[in-house]
Amino acid sequence: MQQPLQIGVIGTGIMGAPMAIRLAKAGHRVRAWNRTVTKAEALAPQGIDVATTPTEAVHEADVVIVMLSSGPVCDEIIMGEDAILDAMRPGSTLVVMSSIPVETARRQAEAAAARQIRYLDAPVSGGEQGAKEGTLAIMVGGEAATFDDINPVLECLGRPVHVGPSGSGELAKLANQMIVANTIATVAEALLLAERGGADPARVREALMGGFADSAILKAHGQRMIDGDFRPGGPAKWQLKDTQTAMALTSELSLDLPVSKLVDGLFESLVANGDGDLDHSALIRELRRRNALPL
């Protein structure tokens, strides 16, 4: 069994809270901070210490895990006023598990190295359920030796895979998010086709499962679309953030990816029409709008 570590968790929202709980249940000493204090306080019955500031959460921590909403928010906490990098001890490890731009991760890695702090970018896929069950796909960028040392901690949360140097984890996550977004759009179109053609969308979904068209998106989000259940596991506004980040990078790399560009536009319209806080499977609502169908 791994020696218990002192772990600071920054961000205890939809994903961060169950991740903190899993780390505590694995025997680690966890101290958590969240901007909305009540979200962190709800974890106290799980044996998790609640910090009043981010710097308090990382004081004397062996490992700090950041699970915040965006690159700018991560930069503010990590490198802004009262930066957690300045409060972390040399030799400790910062693991940023948020979905942020590749260049942001590389810049954070450089800032960490200047303070003798090790850094991994390790975004995840699998949603709230994966965080609760410890089955997240974890894409990790950074030095291989750091990954090897921290791997037992990450294995409490899911299946970590080292994919390359700093920034590579975020690059892998962008690839993941492109696949997710594009597949959501295709499943939504297929279910609308079935509905308008006179078939039962639920039975069509059932018929497709197990064949080449099967996927986690068809199983989980196809059911959400059929039920009209868009309570957020992964809010559409966060999906848009990721598709826009991917599109910005494709432009820098002089890549023309027309399908992903089209789907990014669909998510942009979905959010603009007020559905940004719904689950990303709510993209079917945007297609309904475009076809003058009831929402």
Instruction: Give me the active site residues, please.
Output: 173
Q: How does DSSP assign the chain, residue by residue?
A: -PPP-EEEEE--STTHHHHHHHHHHTT-EEEEE-SSHHHHHTTGGGT-EE-SSHHHHHTT-SEEEE--S-HHHHHHHHHSTT-HHHHSPTT-EEEE-S---HHHHHHHHHHHHTTT-EEEE--EESHHHHHHHT-EEEEEEE-HHHHHHHHHHHTTTEEEEEEESTTHHHHHHHHHHHHHHHHHHHHHHHHHHHHHHTS-HHHHHHHHTTSTT--HIIIIIHHHHHHT----SSBHHHHHHHHHHHHHHHHHTT---HHHHHHHHHHHHHIIIIITTSBGGGHHHHHHHHTT---
Alpha-carbon 223 to chain mean position: 21
| Cα dihedral value 224, 229, 232, 237, nearest 10 | 80
Residue found by looking up tokens 């297929």 in the block:
190
| Cα dihedral value 44, 49, 54, 55, nearest 10 | 170
